[in-house]
Amino acid sequence: MGCFFNTCIIREASSNSNHKQFAGMKAKVKYMREEQPILISSDRKIYLRVDHEQYPIVQPVLQDIAELVKSPQAVHVYEMSSHSIWYACERGMTYDDIQNFFCDYGKTPPPEELLQWMKKHFARYGLLIITRNQDGMRLCSKEKGLLKTLFNGRREVISPSHKEEYTIITEEERGTVKRQLMNLGYPVMDQGGYEEGEKVPFSLREHIQLRPYQKEAVRSVFKSTSLDEGNGIIVLPCGSGKTITGIGLMAVLQQETLIVTPNETSLRQWVRELTACTTLGRDCIGIYTGKEKSLAPITVTTYQMLTRKNREGQFSHLPVFQSRKWGLIIYDEVHLIPAPLFRFAADLQSTRRTGLTATCVREDGKINDIFSLIGPKRYELGIRSLEENGWLSKPVCREIRVGFSDKDAVTYWGLGKREKYRFASENQRKLDVLEKLLNRHRHEKVLIIGHYLSQLSAVHNRFGTPLVTGATSIEERERLYSAFRDSELNCLAVSKVANMALDLPDAAIGIQLSGSYGSRQEEAQRIGRLLRPSQEGKEVTFYSIITAGTQEEERAGNRQLFMLDQGYSYEKEEWSS
């Protein structure tokens, strides 16, 4: 196993363009303590042997100090970041704790370059603190002159007290200042406290029991100091029950709550879960959408409603929500929060905030804004841990490759690059494969997933399969989803509207006919539709049908990367007509 482990490390390093770094890693391999479970690289990556006897000891610590970026079966890869350092600080860890951990469990001593980087970020944590006293709110610094340097003369810095210097900030500036300083690499400990919302007494119904990891996630948000408890981000995989975890937070706080969701499907799921899992009466749950605008002690809305503008370019509905004193705001799929809502989040710093997500990745790189405005990561649990305890199903992933007809092959080679991708994605022979798969799984619940509406319409016309797209009304979507959950329907075709927040726990088979041009997140989201284990504990299968030897095959490989990094594999099958 040791040789294989070293080979994995070298292969990973060789993909880095920094040849000096790679050469240094190879040199260090010669002096490894082979019996130790981790290898620490100067590029802040940490490699952990999964089969090592000390894995149960080492893995929980790594989870607190680094982000899991890859988890193949043999070696898991973690990466440290400024956010992971500050998360470790939140957990009470020190620089010496991590250095000693690396020395105790590392195959080589931790690189000096990494240690210097750690020192810098550990030193910045706790330097800046927001406090409140009878005179108002202060941004305080433990390092003389730091505020003046960071603000570059744009704010007047008040004369320092005997130990600290400070500047007065207004409630309105609280979020903006935190965001600015986070982007400069200086996290702010916000101990300014929160306003309390109106009490909303309710409880979970007797048959609802949070799983151990859901309880721990709730505790992680409320076990910080009394001044900053109730804010932060919870990271849990698709299918792990983020909604019920959010409801668990609400049950602890018992205050008026605003829940912001990415779409109306997610909104309806929250309303359904609140009604089924709690003693809240329906009159206590408000829905604020384009068609229904009711505020209640517990109100559910969408990001779209909060960012909708009127003819004058002003946000139409924000004042409605800002006028109410919420005790808690829950941002569902917080990594998707649109940039225009950063201002809304900044204005509500006196309200407790919690974000729920399966990933902290943002394509625009604005994750700093999320952490500064919503709060630090409080809890994270990976897919593998949930699978081992039977809380998530592990899908069998199969890639089926099908060829063109002779006529379509000639047409394909005469098209441009992007045209080729779509033409291959809509290969007519895929429907023949689909027919055979539907016959194979005719006694199971099947989701057919596609990117192109013309292709999904062809599925509907050929097989009579009910279809959900963006044009389907909310009422009709809910009717079809409910019929699928109640086994009145065993097969449903869905477009990309079902990539997120679709709760169909009994789906056993997923068949992907086409996908976007290479989104890794999309593949994970679609497979996530199958991860919720059914009561029967049946095996779940995800088929991806692609046209062999085309642009689609190349891009499908990109979409699969995330799942491969999580330790899954794809069985390949050539389909002959």
pLDDT at 19: 38
The structural domains of the chain, with segments of one domain joined by +, span: 2-123, 126-190, 212-387, 393-575
Q: 20-24, 107-111, 128-132, 282-286: which range is least confident on average?
A: 20-24
Cα torsion 142, 148, 154, 157: sign: positive
Q: Which helix (H) or strand (E) covers residue 563, if one does?
A: helix 551-565
Say whether pLDDT at 24 is over 80: no
Q: Residue 148 is encoded by which pair of tokens?
A: 């003046």
Top pLDDT among 102 and 169 is at 102
Work out the angle at residue 240's Cα, subtended by the Cα atoms of residues 238 and 245, and round it to the nearest 5 degrees.
115
Neighbours of 319 (CB within 10 A): 9
CATH architecture of the region 212-387: 3-Layer(aba) Sandwich (3.40)
Top pLDDT among 315 and 505 is at 315
Top pLDDT among 162 and 339 is at 339
pTM, entire model: 0.77
| pLDDT (average), residues 239-243 | 88
Q: Classify 327 as helix, strand or coil.
A: coil
| pLDDT (average), residues 15-36 | 52
Per-chain mean pLDDT for the chain: 82
Top pLDDT among 372 and 280 is at 280
DSSP state of 544: E
Pairwise CA distance, residues 121 & 116, whole Å: 9
Domains 212-387 and 393-575 share a fold: yes
Say whether pLDDT at 359 is over 90: no
Residues above pLDDT 70, as percent of the chain: 82
Name the band, by pLDDT with cuts 50, 70 and 90, for residue 553: confident
Q: pLDDT, tens digit, for every residue of 403-416?
A: 999 999 999 999 98
Q: Residue 76 is encoded by which pair of tokens?
A: 């898991």
Pairwise CA distance, residues 397 & 420, whole Å: 25
Q: Can you spell out the DSSP letters for 334-390? A: GGG--TTHHHHHHHTTTSEEEEEES----TTSTHHHHHHHH--EEEE--HHHHHHTT
| pLDDT (average), residues 491-507 | 74
Say whether pLDDT at 551 is over 80: yes
Q: pLDDT, tens digit, for every residue of 47-61?
A: 999 889 998 899 889
Tell me which CATH code domain 126-190 carries: 3.30.70
Top pLDDT among 302 and 159 is at 302
Residues above pLDDT 90, as percent of the chain: 38
pLDDT at 461: 96
pLDDT at 295: 93
Q: pLDDT, tens digit, for every residue of 89-124?
A: 888 899 999 999 999 999 999 999 999 999 999 999
Most confident of 200-204, 390-394, 518-522: 200-204
Q: How many angstroms from the chain centroid is the CA of residue 386?
A: 15
393-575 belongs to CATH 3.40.50.300:
yes
pLDDT at 348: 78
Q: pLDDT, tens digit, for every residue of 504-526?
A: 667 788 898 988 755 555 666 66
